[in-house]
Structure 1
Amino acid sequence: MTRPEQVSGPAQARRERLNALREAALHRPVLARHLSDGFNGRWSRRQWVQASLFATIGMLVLAIVPGFETPLLQKPAMHATRHSMALTLPPLPIARLKGASGDSWQLVRVSRGQTLGSLFEQLDIPASTMHAILDHPGAKASLTRLKPGTELAFDLPVDGQLRTFRYDRDDSHRIELSLNGDQVTEKVIVRPTDTRTVVISGEVGSSLFRSARKLGLTGSNINTLTDDIFKYDIDFNEDVGSRDRFSVVVEQTWREGELIKTGPVLAATFTTGGKLHTGFRFERNGKAEYFTGDGRPLKKSFIRMPIPYARLTSSFGTRRHPVLGRVRMHKGVDYGASTGTPIMAAGDARVASVGWQGGYGRAVVLDHGRGYTTLYGHMSRFGKIRQGQRIPQGTVIGYVGSTGLATGPHLHYEFRVNGVHRNPLSITMPPPEPLSGVALAQFRAQTSVALARIQEVENIIYADAGPIPAKLEAKKASGKPRRQKA
């Protein structure tokens, strides 16, 4: 019998090859062998990553497989039987069937700087159509001076030819102009309006303008409070605090639930520093003015400085003339300002003269009545005034210059009483004429109603401040802004 160690030749070579393959298989990097190689009771980072990967794959398989399985188990849905019914619809209007106006309106709001011509050009409407509209009686007066925000309506069908044009003639009348060839037909639509007298009351807060606007007052109303009624008694830059309050009576016009206009201030009160100031609107000799509760005008007869924010460069009295070099009486005061600064009339007056007056250069003399006159000299040019014209206080009568005997641009201002020169900085200005007689009686009847409404509203708004005396002068400032209908 042959012994194994004696095998030689091809058999020996085959045995060695099998042993080599067995050794290679034993050293192959199997996953289980790899995970267990060198395991010392703690997993390495690579082992944690591999385990997490396999766990994630397993969870995804468990989540996805039931989703594919559910539709296979469900039965197909049964579709419900549908029935149709024929319903009779209301017939279209004949005007709509014929393509009449009303089915293609385009509303346009006028922007700042826009004109009627630019709007027609923007909508590709021929200029001849616009001229046909303007030639219609009454249209030109309403359409040639369009204010920003004005609403216009154009009935433009698919063919692009304007059929009807619509605009508001006033607050309560709307005009529709229908175009048929060269013929223009007018239709007037009455739009009822409702005018209400309301009392708007509130606190100044961080800004008088912001608070008043939020309550519904217009910019013009606020300017009336600060520039016409209370400017002589209240310094709105220094005297007014956040807890000070105001009440204003105005008329508001409403149309179809929309506020379209707020009228002028009829009455106003302003409480600052515990002191009450009042102002009431009343027409005297056809001119609207504001008066105190006892009928005295709030507007002073004269403005001491005809130039706002000017600097005093020469006082009233004896001085050496800067041009002539001689000591002589300076019969007025000088205000230095840059050339072109507007000069205002110190009070209501009649223009006595406009022209060149020797050393005064270009000068204006105003006659204020009751023996009071004022002179304004060294102007660079005059305002739009003429001799004999009556002008109100604050009218621009000219502009600062250096004409005549002057070393630089300034205003020479003189104040005369019965021809005698007086110092405009120290003289006691004459008080304005109060109301009297029938005018005073009418004023009291008119203002008593406004006072009662303001007091009624403020008793509601400022109830937390305690009882308010019958006289408004004793009211204290507190409470929250509110608006009440009068």
Structure 2
Amino acid sequence: MSALLLLGCLAVFIGLSQREEDASPTAEAIDTATVIATEKPAEEQAPTDTFAPTPEAPVEAPWEEQVVRSGDNLSLIFKRAGYDNRDVHRVVTESEDGKGLARIYPGQVIAFQGDESGQLVAVRHIKNDLETVSYTLGEQGFTSQTLTREPEVRVADATGVITSSLFLAGQKAGLSHTTIMDMANVFGGVIDFVGDPRKGDTMHLIFEELYLDGEKLDDGDIIAASYTNQGKTFTAYRYQDSQGDVGYYNEDGVSMRKAFLLAPVDFTRISSNFNPRRIHPIYKTARPHRGTDYAAPTGTPVYAAGDGRVIKAGYSRSNGNYIFIQHGEQFVTKYLHLHKRRVKQGQRVVQSQVIGTVGSTGAATGPHLHYEFLMNGVHRNPRTIHKKLPKAKSLPESEMAQFRQSIAAVSSQLAKLREETDTRLAMTGAADDRG
């Protein structure tokens, strides 16, 4: 009985074990099941980034800037930047514009760039805000490239009233020194800005202003201007004719450029006018003063009064440093007591060219220019002789229609500025009378 019971239990145990083996997968089945369970359709796969990380851009080597100093040369500047004369020679001789690098001026910037080993690979010559020349090392040596920028041009106007001097009035009106001198040059054949301006004179300008990156860079050309001297008004308009030549003309098309400037210096004060009977301040004798003395600080520029040729340039005990200029067959101008001469005998000069600077050489009591004007060998008063000179050049009739059309708008603008100034001065005068 017990034996039968034991055999039955054993049979049941063996049957249960067999069923568990059948239910358990084999190793191969487990692997297959695992693959089937983990594989998914392509569209269900998580997106994979197939691109490698973008490498960081190489950092540009820094630039070292050197400001050109007075008395500098390329060797000194390169040496301060850590480079030698061999580098100077390579940049100057290998690049097309290399010789231009030798023409440097105080205030300009020379920038240098080297590689990791310290070799010079690039140079920049920053001439001004608008022009930079770049020199870059390549397989064939240094090459050059000029980079230029164009400023934005805006039109502005200014009004000035003379209270003490033209220069101070121009400064008060917000004009640069260059624009004031440009205006003096425009009217230099009809107004002597040394002796003619009087208190109450007015000037009006319409001119260009140049901007770069939203900031004013400089003044540009004068478009139109007027100057009222002791009640007489002179006007000038900038005009480019059909030949491409640019000049200034009055409203009738007559050129503002005369044969001679009325004053051959920056406007200062006249210390002595034409006087044939004056007593010489050094020799104390009655020596004719056949000219005009313009008192001015030493170094003040002296201009050629007109186009001509230098017939004498030298030094004498009485004249100091002097220059004589022949203008055509009839006229000679003389410039005495110069500090320095800027032209040589035989040289051709043009009107308004700087020929020297004011000084006190020779028989001079102080810094001034002594200026003489001779017509057919006879001394003439340079402040009045212009009235006897030939008439100024006028635009041909074929240009007049285009000229009138080109100045119409700016002429109206100029007239409006004068009207506003006259009204303001009249109101100021009335208020002063009531006071």
Residue 331 (structure 2) pairs with residue 366 (structure 1): no
CA gap of 1:446–1:177, structure 2 versus 1, over 3 A, is farther
| Cα distance between partner residues in 1 of 2:97 and 2:237 | 38
TM-score normalised to structure 1 length? 0.53
| Cα distance between partner residues in 2 of 1:302 and 1:161 | 57
Q: Paired residues, what number? A: 361
- 1:229, CA displacement in angstroms? 3.8
Question: In 1, are the aligned partners of 2:330 and 2:375 still within 8 Å (CA)?
Answer: yes
Partner of 1:484: none
| Cα distance between partner residues in 1 of 2:317 and 2:146 | 63
Partner of 2:155: 199
Question: In 2, are the aligned partners of 1:378 and 1:401 still within 8 Å (CA)?
Answer: yes
Residue 351 (structure 2) pairs with residue 392 (structure 1): yes
Partner of 1:209: 171
Bigger shift: 364-373 or 409-418? 409-418
Q: Any residues of structure 2 matched to 1:266-285 within 5 Å, and which?
A: 266-269=223-226, 277-281=234-238
Residue 82 (structure 2) pairs with residue 124 (structure 1): yes
CA gap of 1:292–1:106, structure 2 versus 1, over 3 A, is same
| Cα distance between partner residues in 2 of 1:353 and 1:146 | 32
Partner of 1:91: 54
Partner of 1:64: none
| Cα distance between partner residues in 2 of 1:410 and 1:262 | 31
Superposed CA offset, 1:344-376 (max 9, x none): 544433334456899989865433337333455
| Cα distance between partner residues in 2 of 1:351 and 1:153 | 42
Bigger shift: 125-134 or 409-418? 409-418
Superposed CA offset, 1:389-443 (max 9, x none): 344256436865447xx999997765433344444455563356433354x6547
Partner of 2:272: 312
Question: In 1, are the aligned partners of 2:337 and 2:369 still within 8 Å (CA)?
Answer: yes
Q: What is the identity, as a one-letter code, of the residue corresponding to 2:170?
A: L
| Cα distance between partner residues in 1 of 2:92 and 2:296 | 46
Question: In 2, are the aligned partners of 1:199 and 1:454 still within 8 Å (CA)?
Answer: no
Question: In 2, are the aligned partners of 1:276 and 1:474 still within 8 Å (CA)?
Answer: no
Question: In 2, are the aligned partners of 1:296 and 1:432 still within 8 Å (CA)?
Answer: no
Question: In 1, are the aligned partners of 2:291 and 2:373 still within 8 Å (CA)?
Answer: no
| Cα distance between partner residues in 2 of 1:144 and 1:301 | 38
Query: Unaligned 5+ residue runs, structure 1?
Result: 1-85, 459-470, 480-486
CA gap of 1:391–1:132, structure 2 versus 1, over 3 A, is same
Residue 68 (structure 2) pairs with residue 105 (structure 1): no
Q: What is the identity, as a one-letter code, of the residue corresponding to 2:137?
A: S
Partner of 2:310: 351
Question: In 2, are the aligned partners of 1:356 and 1:362 still within 8 Å (CA)?
Answer: yes
Aligned partner (choices 83, 87, 101) of residue 143 of structure 1:
101
| Cα distance between partner residues in 2 of 1:234 and 1:143 | 40
Q: What is the identity, as a one-letter code, of the residue corresponding to 1:160?
A: G
Question: In 2, are the aligned partners of 1:302 and 1:429 still within 8 Å (CA)?
Answer: no
Partner of 1:47: none
Q: What is the identity, as a one-letter code, of the residue corresponding to 2:141?
A: V
Q: What is the identity, as a one-letter code, of the residue corresponding to 1:264?
A: D
TM-score normalised to structure 2 length? 0.58
Query: Unaligned 5+ residue runs, structure 2?
Result: 1-47, 162-167, 424-435
CA gap of 1:250–1:333, structure 2 versus 1, over 3 A, is closer
CA gap of 1:90–1:150, structure 2 versus 1, over 3 A, is farther
- 1:384, CA displacement in angstroms? 2.3
Superposed CA offset, 1:131-162 (max 9, x none): 21122233333322234554554333444333
Aligned partner (choices 228, 231, 253) of residue 295 of structure 1:
253
Q: Any residues of structure 2 matched to 1:323-362 within 5 Å, and which?
A: 330=288, 332-333=290-291, 335=293, 345-354=304-313
- 1:124, CA displacement in angstroms? 2.0
> Quick one: higher RCO (CA 8 Å, sep 6+), 1 or 2?
1
Aligned partner (choices 134, 137, 141) of residue 184 of structure 1:
141
| Cα distance between partner residues in 2 of 1:175 and 1:377 | 46
Superposed CA offset, 1:312-360 (max 9, x none): 388225999x9798x9x94824749799887654443333445689998
Q: Secondary structure at 1:475's aligned position in 2?
A: helix
- 1:91, CA displacement in angstroms? 0.9
| Cα distance between partner residues in 2 of 1:335 and 1:130 | 49
CA gap of 1:202–1:372, structure 2 versus 1, over 3 A, is closer
Superposed CA offset, 1:233-291 (max 9, x none): 778985468xx77443337475x777767543343356799986532345799986533
CA gap of 1:89–1:116, structure 2 versus 1, over 3 A, is farther
Question: In 1, are the aligned partners of 2:159 and 2:417 still within 8 Å (CA)?
Answer: no
| Cα distance between partner residues in 2 of 1:233 and 1:347 | 15
Q: What is the identity, as a one-letter code, of the residue corresponding to 2:113?
A: D
Aligned partner (choices 371, 376, 389) of residue 418 of structure 1:
376
Question: In 2, are the aligned partners of 1:332 and 1:424 still within 8 Å (CA)?
Answer: no
Q: Secondary structure at 1:177's aligned position in 2?
A: strand
Q: Secondary structure at 2:343's aligned position in 1?
A: coil
Question: In 1, are the aligned partners of 2:111 and 2:124 still within 8 Å (CA)?
Answer: yes
Question: In 1, are the aligned partners of 2:260 and 2:351 still within 8 Å (CA)?
Answer: no
Partner of 1:175: 134
Aligned partner (choices 417, 421, 426) of residue 477 of structure 1:
421
Question: In 1, are the aligned partners of 2:160 and 2:173 still within 8 Å (CA)?
Answer: yes
| Cα distance between partner residues in 2 of 1:250 and 1:339 | 31
Question: In 1, are the aligned partners of 2:262 and 2:383 still within 8 Å (CA)?
Answer: yes
Q: Secondary structure at 2:327's aligned position in 1?
A: strand
